[in-house]
Structure 1
Amino acid sequence: MAENTIPVAAFGPGAKGVDVPVLDSHLHHIEQGKGSPIVFLHGSPTSSFLYRHVFRLLAGRGRLLAVDLIGFGDSGRPAIDYELADHERYLDAWFDALDLRDVTLVLQDYGAAFGVSWAARHPERVRAVLLAEPVIRDIESAALPAAFVGAQQLIRTPGDGEKFVVEDNGFMTQVFPGAFLEPLAAEDLAVYQAPFPTPESRAHLIRFPRNLPIDGVPSSSVDFLARNENWLSTSADVPKTLLTYEPGFLLTPTIETWIRENVANIEIHAGGAGVHFVQEEQPQGLADAVVALLGRAAR
């Protein structure tokens, strides 16, 4: 991308944008503060911008880093397939390039899939984990809104999906703006939409919705998440927090129950009113939960 689209000033005094060379491209992140790293991972179809309010509320709590996934925000756009394993490779390279250790992970949407995967494969570098509206298990369609299930069916249909997401920009102009209790401010929505002005720039946006594991499909995504189950169930030394929201979205009752029964050292707390992009709707509650989690990790 020729120029950055994310306003760094929105993250508060002292925040800076950083481009880190990784593999054949670069990952962009916003950074603020010093100390043990707190890494914030977003999902589909957002960017580090999602965490700007949380950054302001956590100033002084550590080295805050919100990274843009490859192909999103101000990160690079290499010629790759943008499958889950691709995102994993670039994030791994970013963590290693910065030599991040004693990491507290704050994870939402696909950010949870990738963050938990990184933790499971680098347990000695993880301090604590917070989950909010995570992609962490197969999702039963019966618990999802009918309109979203219909959109998913459209997106997964060859040809029709490409027209809706890539050609007509329907995912960024219809699906994403509709996933809030209150509409986003026009200027904030514009920041999220800015990286995807043309069909060419939107081509990879279809991968995340097509890879969302619903009713066991695609099996590759179910398998990707299942790899992390052993670490989640055995990592009793790593404190974890799950935040729930009303009405919520991807955290279905079945998945919440599974987390409660299978994830070691987990505390579950109500996060308040929110749908899915809860960093926009409940930043104070999210920041407070991070502070509480850091306190548990310090004991």
Structure 2
Amino acid sequence: MTTIPAAAFGPEAKSVDVPVLDSYLHHIEQGTGSPIVFLHGSPTSSYLYRHVFKLLEGRGRLLAPDLIGFGDSGRPDIAYELADHERYLDAWFEALDLRDVTLVLQDYGAAFGISWAARHPERVRAVLLAEPVIRDIESSALPEAFVGAQKLIRTPGDGEKFVVEDNGFLTQVLPGAFLQPLAAEDLAVYLAPFPTPESRGHLIRFPRNLPIDGVPASSVQFLARGEEWLKTSADVPKTLLTYEPGFLLTPTIEAWIRENVANIEVHAGGAAVHFVQEEEPQKLADAVVELLARAQEAGR
């Protein structure tokens, strides 16, 4: 069932299903030229980037995939751990033979995009980070309500009831992460792929894998694999956008990025919580244009 309307991205946008491994990844595509890949996180889809696509028309080959098990991508019988998402996304990059790639990364999209960049440095042109999952997060900097929801979700049995049976993550946590309420018709697009408890079983994996106060250690280790590339890739221009009030980009993580990530520029992205593509699409698009100009000036 198709849930994501390609027309929302622009009149020239199209839906594409790419066979990968034992399933397929769906993406929205528009334009030609050097690829700009937009990666989403939990619990959304490529639909997050529809406004940004319209603002970047003519700037390159715009591609926004749905992670495996999300949006209109396939639902193989896998564990949906971070390494699983990495495998399917790797296969998508390979199937399309994407090179000279600018990565626009939010939430878990940053975890997977940086992992891919670190393992394919010769294929990366530039990187933009917005509300990224990139480091271990200190709970003291997170909203108390979210920390409470995380404890509930990580409790065996209670977490399954909240996320899978009662659909609380999609109907309570997601809508609560906006300064202004998300339009009902847009929320409906995010809810559409997950109408039943059976369809929501894997949604619990992303919140349970979010690294908070060092737990789970496997997620901290997954993210640490990209640190060396972030520190040494001085030839790759990078941008970090900060938001007010923001959410996952805590002061500690922002400080680490400023001090450690090579060739990074930090700019204010505007007023948003976490799903910044919905709340500040113009400033995100402007930051992409500026980043592309930096890459061109650097001869990339």
- List, as ranges, runs of 4+ consecutive aligned residues in structure 1 with deviation greater than 4 Å: none
Match of 1:235 in 2: 233
Q: Does the residue aligned with 2:155 lie in a helix, a strand or coil? A: coil
Q: Deviations 1:108-127 (Å, cap 9, x if unpaired)?
A: 00000000000000000000
Match of 1:60 in 2: 58
Q: Distance in 2 between matches of 1:88 and 1:31?
A: 21
Residue 26 (1) aligns with residue 13 (2) = no
Q: Deviations 1:159-184 (Å, cap 9, x if unpaired)?
A: 00000000000000000000000000
Match of 1:103 in 2: 101
Amino acid at match of 1:8: A
Match of 1:43 in 2: 41
Shift of 1:53: 0.1
Q: Distance in 2 between matches of 1:185 and 1:276?
A: 16
Q: Distance in 2 between matches of 1:207 and 1:39?
A: 24
Q: Distance in 2 between matches of 1:159 and 1:13?
A: 45
Residue 253 (1) aligns with residue 251 (2) = yes
Q: Distance in 1 between matches of 2:7 and 2:14?
A: 8
1:294 pairs with 277, 292, 295, which one? 292
Q: Deviations 1:73-96 (Å, cap 9, x if unpaired)?
A: 000000000000000000000000
1:166 pairs with 159, 164, 173, which one? 164
Q: Deviations 1:223-245 (Å, cap 9, x if unpaired)?
A: 00001000000000000000000
Q: Distance in 2 between matches of 1:39 and 1:193?
A: 23
Compute the TM-score of the two structures, normalised by the length of structure 1.
0.99
Shift of 1:67: 0.2
1:70 pairs with 68, 71, 74, which one? 68
Amino acid at match of 1:122: H
Q: Distance in 1 between matches of 2:149 and 2:234?
A: 39
Structure 1 runs not aligned, ≥5 long: none
Q: Does the residue aligned with 1:90 lie in a helix, a strand or coil? A: helix
Q: Distance in 2 between matches of 1:71 and 1:183?
A: 26
Amino acid at match of 2:204: I
Paired residues, what number?
A: 297
Amino acid at match of 1:244: T
Match of 2:219 in 1: 221
Name the Cα RMSD after superposition: 0.2
Q: Distance in 1 between matches of 2:125 and 2:224?
A: 22
Q: Deviations 1:256-288 (Å, cap 9, x if unpaired)?
A: 000000000000000010000000000000000
Amino acid at match of 2:3: T
Match of 1:272 in 2: 270
Structure 2 runs not aligned, ≥5 long: none
Amino acid at match of 1:51: Y
Match of 2:125 in 1: 127
Q: Deviations 1:37-93 (Å, cap 9, x if unpaired)?
A: 000000000000000000000000000000000000000000000000000000000
Q: Distance in 2 between matches of 1:284 and 1:198?
A: 35
Shift of 1:13: 1.4
Shift of 1:20: 0.0
Q: Distance in 2 between matches of 1:4 and 1:13?
A: 17
Q: Distance in 1 between matches of 2:51 and 2:271?
A: 17
Match of 2:92 in 1: 94
Residue 17 (1) aligns with residue 15 (2) = yes
Q: Does the residue aligned with 2:214 lie in a helix, a strand or coil? A: coil
